[in-house]
Structure 1
Amino acid sequence: MNKKKSTEHQSPDPDWMEQWLRDFFLDPHTEYEDNAIFKIDIYETDDHWIVEVVLQDYASSEIKVKVENSKLIISAQKQNHSPLTSFPKKERIIDFPFVIIRHGVTAVFQNGLLEIFITKAENGSGKNRYIPLP
């Protein structure tokens, strides 16, 4: 029996997703971005993929989470409190091996930790969208 590859309309095979996660975290570019931009971890439960992002120096109003086809885009930018101070925007993009806009996505930010929950059930809107932070 052949294992199915992920398609645009279904979640990936668990073994294939495990290999993608392994490749993602072994990629030297991922380690570089964890140190230079902000740290990301990805976990899997029975019902969700959970993306944890360490953003200790930010308020929830300074963070944006967007799903765009198969991409999860996380950006953070300090608000300028002075016209003489400028803070660069920091952004990480995770390109999942499946279309995440078809999945339910929620996010919570608390104590400097952003947690993004992507359901394994396909109950998303199917549209690119920003994910609100409560």
Structure 2
Amino acid sequence: MQDKLHDVQINEVKVFDDWVKKFFLNPETSLLDQQLFTIDIYESNDEYMVEAILENHAAKDIKILLRDNEISILVDQPHKPFPKLFHKDKAVIPAAQRKISFPFSICSRRITAEFTQPLLVIRIHKYTPGRATEDIRIE
């Protein structure tokens, strides 16, 4: 059983490495970095990290959403009038949004976020399970 789990973890690391290369080689990534805000992705022994540089923002301007294998970072930018999105007759923060679609599901893992102006760091723990949620609280 332990060997099977180890094989799955090794395979995930390889899939992640391949995916990161493609993510950063995608011209759309560079364009969104320039137009909206810069994102960087790292890996350590026990977590994946997504960093976003959000200058001139406060934690209250940022919302992080999670859905299966995707993290969305939404940033309200009052100085840039973006049209509002509507969901069930309620206005939703539309502003600037970046989506990061991982090559595997991350929704059952422990995910934490912290914001120290101007850096938002989202940590996806590789081996620690978390509760299923769609909204990640920023510390």
State the TM-score bracket (shorter-chain normalisation).
Answer: 0.7 to 0.9
Q: Indicate conservation of the 8 Å contact 2:77/2:96, yes or no.
A: no
- Root-mean-square deviation (CA), in Å? 1.8
Larger relative helix fraction: 2
1:107 matches 2:110: no
Q: Secondary structure at the match of 2:48?
A: strand
Q: After the TM superposition, which parts of structure 1 deviate over 6 Å for at least 4 consecutive aligned residues?
A: none
State the alpha-carbon separation in 2 of the partners of residues 78 and 30 from structure 1.
20
Where structure 1 has 5 or more consecutive residues not aligned to the other structure, the ranges are 1-9, 80-84
Whole-Å separation in 2 of the counterparts to 1:41 and 1:23: 13
- Pairing 1:120–2:126 present: yes
Gaps of 5+ in 2: 1-7, 83-94
Matches of 1:90 and 1:70, distance apart in 2: 20
CA-CA distance at 1:124 after TM superposition: 1.9
Q: Distance in 2 between matches of 1:41 and 1:108?
A: 15
The whole-number CA distance in structure 1 between the counterparts of 2:120 and 2:80 is 23
With the length of structure 2 as denominator, give the TM-score of the two structures.
Answer: 0.79
Is 1:35 the equivalent of 2:40? no
The residue identity in structure 2 corresponding to 1:18 is: D
Paired residues, what number?
120
CA distance in 2, matches of 1:29, 1:111: 25
CA shift in 2, pair 1:87/1:17, >3 Å: same
Partner residue in 1 for 2:134: 129
Determine if contact 1:77/1:87 at 8 Å carries over to the other structure: no
Query: By how many angstroms is 1:16 displaced?
Result: 1.7
What is residue 13 of structure 2 aligned with on the other side? 14
Relative to 1, partners in 2 of residues 1:23 and 1:78: Cα closer, same or farther, differing over 3 Å? same
Give the alignment's TM-score, normalised by structure 1.
0.82
1:85-108 deviation per Cα after TM superposition (whole angstroms, max 9, x unaligned): 763200000110111111110000
Higher strand share: 2
- Judge conservation of contact 2:57–2:117 (CA < 8 Å) in 1: no
